[in-house]
Structure 1
Amino acid sequence: MKYIKTLILVCFVGVLSSCSVSGPYVAPKALVTKNSVGTKVGIAEKKTYFGIMFGSADLGIVAAAKKGGITKVATVDSEIVSGLIVTKYRTKVTGE
């Protein structure tokens, strides 16, 4: 009986720990090229609900640069903000 209780406790802890989230992580900006950072910013983003993406979305560097009118990319910042219902994916590009 003691073995079964221990097994159930280990399984319960394993299930809970596999679903844990430590919080949103935002990576620091990285210089992609030797171009100057500039003043223009382009953002491509998409939200998903319950892990399902409705419609299509281009979250790439080129799409973000086009939205910001950027021809020379300097930095790229990729961000994922995850919640219980909504998850937001964002690609942010700076340059000239």
Structure 2
Amino acid sequence: MGTRPGERVMQPDYGCRLHDLVFDPMTAETEAEIEVAITRAILFFEPRIVLNSVQVADDWRAGTLRIRLEFRVRSTNARHNRVFPFYRTEGTLISAPPEPGT
């Protein structure tokens, strides 16, 4: 959701249009555009899940927008996994740092 279309090298269509809609007035049309943008991004670029629904609700008094995704994980550790972020301390071959003086 954080990648804009055109940011990925050699994948100009990859991404989601949410950034384009940030400053649009909150109308029913904008909510529908947000739902379509998220649905399209997940449908085309996230093979690990099946999207059941996208719900957009705004609270104009608080200036917030809530987006609820309901989905089902297809399987785990498929070869299409894209994992972010990467942690330095994760892994199977990580050992403790050497003690000073050893």
User: How high is the TM-score relative to the length of structure 2?
Assistant: 0.27
Query: If you compute each CA radius of gyration, which structure gives the higher value, 1 or 2?
Result: 1
More strand by share: 1
User: How high is the TM-score relative to the length of structure 1?
Assistant: 0.28
